[in-house]
Amino acid sequence: MGHRKKLKAVIGILNGLTSIIKATLSTKSNTKTHTAILRATTARNPSSPPSDDRIAAVLSLGRGSRLTACAVIEALMDRLNGTKNPSVALKCLFTIHSIIKKGSFILKDQLSFYPSFGGRNFLNMSKFRQDSDPERWELASWVRWYATVIEQNFIVSRVLGHYLNSSFSSKNSKDKEDKASALLDEDLLGELDALVEFVEVICEAPDSLHLQRNNMVYAVIRYVGEDYRVVQREISIRVVELRDRMANLTFNELTRLLSSLKRFEDCRERLRLLFVNRARNDALWELTCGTKLKIIETVREMSKLKSLVKTERTDDSGELSRLRERFGVLRQLVRFNSGGR
């Protein structure tokens, strides 16, 4: 078994080198693009992420024309969807994530429109499998999860109107608070729902957390952890704003907010295991718990008020029925007396 595994690894490396050599010797205009992608996603050093230099080489291609940026994304997607090697797939996804975090706007734009406007499963990794050995089988599960995280990143970015890792995220909290305060209640609740759903997707990480000893997997967790820290700040701003508006929220809006906060709290233990307390942010959890308790108290009071109003209406209805009965008897007496006369 060990000999066969080593043989497959050697074959994968040779295939990767062959592809790079072919791309280098090719006379096509997109040679530079394909070579940069192949070097960043090589099968060599399967447990190591792409080096900073190789990621920088890919990102630099996106600073040119839209045509070049399109060629970069096409080559990267072809490489991702054409490989059966989990390590190569993880390197492709890591490169895509690097484009989201550090790439030029034109490169991000091309990525978001490939091939279905950044919709769910646009990376086409949900059926990725590799059963040749236990380690590759586990790595394949990380590929599927990582692809889902990146897809959710795009979905949240569309809801918020900016990329999670864009320059807007580096602006001071006052700018973000002003933007949140200008939103309608419905829009604010929608953004919070999307952010919490992103956290839930992060929590679906494979159970084989011991693979964080693999440098490639560790680099993936680090990148996702950076996204999660940005999401924490975004959630905090919206929870504070909605808490301040609580007196004006409807019963349905309050229950929707309560549901989002409960879902977020349900993720806490899994997040602690995944990031090993690297992104604890106890203040956010205290804010979430305090706001949730305040909502529960408000909803309880609103329920009591509704019940009281219903009771009063029932009593009023009973009194009205009794008056109608008395009026009916009186009318019969008047008719009887009139007939007797």
Q: Which CATH architecture has domain 165-301?
A: Up-down Bundle (1.20)
The string of DSSP codes covering 94-163 is HHHHHHHHHS-HHHHHHHHTSSSTT-TTTT--TT----SSHHHHHHHHHHHHHHHHHHHHHHHHHHHTS-
Average pLDDT of the residues of the chain = 83
Q: Domain 16-122 classified CATH 3.10.620.30?
A: no
- Tell me what pLDDT residue 211 has: 84
Decide if pLDDT at 305 tops 60.
yes
State the angle between helix axes of 31-40 and 86-102 in degrees (0 to 180), rounded to the nearest 10.
110
DSSP run (H or E) holding 341? none
Which of the residue ranges 5-14, 124-133, 139-148, 237-246 would you say has the lowest mean pLDDT?
5-14
Q: Among the ranges 168-172, 250-254, 304-308, which has the highest mean pLDDT value?
A: 250-254
Rounded CA gap, 154 and 160, in Å? 10
Decide if pLDDT at 147 tops 70.
yes
Residue appearing with tokens 């942010």: 281
**Residue 116: Cβ within 10 Å count:** 10
Rounded CA gap, 250 and 72, in Å? 48
Q: Among the ranges 158-167, 188-197, 272-281, which has the highest mean pLDDT value?
A: 188-197
User: Mind listing the pLDDT tens digit for each residue in 70-85?
Assistant: 999 999 999 999 999 9
- Map residue 77 onto helix, strand or coil: helix
Q: Give the pair of three-digit tokens for residue 27.
A: 């006379």
Domain(s) labelled CATH 1.20.58.150 in the chain stretch across 165-301
Identify the CA nearest to 158 among candidates 190, 124, 121: 190
- Tell me what pLDDT residue 228 has: 96
Decide if pLDDT at 328 tops 70.
no
Which of the 8 DSSP states describes residue 251?
A: H
- Tell me what pLDDT residue 331 has: 47
Decide if pLDDT at 341 tops 60.
no
Domain(s) labelled CATH 1.25.40.90 in the chain stretch across 16-122
What mean pLDDT comes out for the span 126-141? 91
Rounded CA gap, 216 and 49, in Å? 5
* Cα 274 from chain centre: 16
- Tell me what pLDDT residue 132 has: 82
Identify the CA nearest to 30 among candidates 66, 60, 83, 68: 68
Q: Give the pair of three-digit tokens for residue 55.
A: 């990621």
Give 149's contacts (C-beta < 8 A, 6+ positions apart). 201, 202, 224, 227
| Residue 311 vs residue 186, higher pLDDT | 186
